[in-house]
Amino acid sequence: MAVGSPQMGSKKRLGEETFNRAKLLNVGYTEAMKDGEYDCFIFSDVDLIPMDDRNLYHCYDQPRHFAIAMDKFGFRLPYAGYFGGVSGLSKKQFLKINGFPNEYWGWGGEDDDIYNRGHNNEGCTNRNIKYSEARGGLERWKVLRKKMRNKWRGRKKKEGGKGITLNGMKVSRPDVRIGRYRMIKHERDKHNEPNPQRFNKIQNTKNTMKKDGISSLTYRVIQFKRYALYTNISVEIGKPPPRPIKG
């Protein structure tokens, strides 16, 4: 994760517990602010490679979504509210949405929670579809877009424009010819299985965003190593709460 300078950028959690991407991004923000008064933060998945050097990584007047055309999605947006992959927020924008959620253990959901933080009066859900559909290429995305079309058509009319909003802010994006990325092929990470509770959590963002975010972040730094081009921070971020027993 780039956080305003090439010297501060890498963090990892220790142990064999469940992965929590969004919480680690909050850690990256917090540790960067200890290092200096940064005002721009770029949050990037480590497996995405930008294909066009005109896609400049800096902050804009509005939150920036850089990765709008990935090869795994047929080089197009999977749906209008997608905010995943690589995004950039200023310090002011980041704090306005209380950072990222800390309670998304495992894979999936945190990016939609971030989107919903701009719709906290509605508590809507971006993906009423299986996440596995997002892994199958262009033909599956044609099916996905058909499922989402009516929902987004109604929302765009209500909001009076094309953009999505984050607490009243409009998301900006580069041209689709510029915001192109390739994903490094890899198996799903161990301890990063899909989170079965993600859909319920996404629907309750309006009730959780003020208490779940940068304001509630807890972690422990285990190791801090500064290198010429980056800083590597190993942290302990805790364990997920026990899942409710079905019965």
Note if 35 is an active site residue. Answer: no
d(CA 105, CA 19): 6
Note if 110 is an active site residue. Answer: yes
Nearest Cα neighbor of 231 from 14, 71, 27, 22 is: 27
Q: Which of 17, 33, 35, 47 is catalytic?
A: 47
Note if 107 is an active site residue. Answer: yes
Q: E strands along 39-92, which residues?
A: 40-44, 48-50, 64-65, 69-70, 86-90
Q: Which two tokens stand for residue 229?
A: 């081009």
d(CA 70, CA 180): 6
Q: Which of 1, 21, 105, 110 is catalytic?
A: 110
Q: What is the rounded radius of gyration, in angstroms, for the C-alpha atoms of the chain?
A: 18
Q: What are the distances in angstroms from CA 97 to CA 46, 63, 212? A: 23, 11, 10
Note if 111 is an active site residue. Answer: yes
Q: Which of 51, 183, 191, 236 is catalytic?
A: 183
Q: Which of 8, 21, 65, 111 is catalytic?
A: 111
Note if 64 is an active site residue. Answer: no
H/E stretch holding 235 reads: strand 231-236
Note if 186 is an active site residue. Answer: yes
Q: Which two tokens stand for residue 197?
A: 């509770």
The residues with which 220 forms a beta bridge, in sequence order, are 236
Q: Which of 17, 33, 35, 45 is catalytic?
A: 45
Let me know how many helices (H) and strands (E) the chain has, helices first: 6, 11
The residues with which 69 forms a beta bridge, in sequence order, are 180
Catalytic residues: 45, 47, 107, 110-111, 183, 186, 188
